[in-house]
Amino acid sequence: MPHATDTAPRTGEHVDGYEVPVLDEHAVRIAAGILLAIGITALTITLASDSIRPLQTWIPAIVATPVARSRDAGAEVHGAAAA
């Protein structure tokens, strides 16, 4: 059986004891918070200005998230704290 990282794009770093690359949970949470703040700002501007334009820049980020996850189908990601 081929290793998950042989076919999928490589994200994370190799940590002894794990078969898959490990992501820094702190960095992932920070990135999620930044995206959430941008989304809330875009929604607020849209509601205040009656223009859909701010959300038109935000929608591709929402669409890209499941697409990026589908590329890593079958690959498990574990936090470093589980070791």
The predicted model gives 40-61 an average pLDDT of 86
pLDDT tens, position by position, 20-44: 888 888 888 998 888 889 889 988 9
Crossing angle of the two packed helices 25-49 and 53-71, in degrees rounded to 10: 150
pLDDT band for 66, please (50, 70, 90 cuts): low
Cα 65 from Cα 67, distance rounded (Å): 5
Q: Tell me the CA distances in angstroms from 81 to 14, 18, 26, 55, 77, one per residue in order.
A: 14, 12, 11, 36, 12
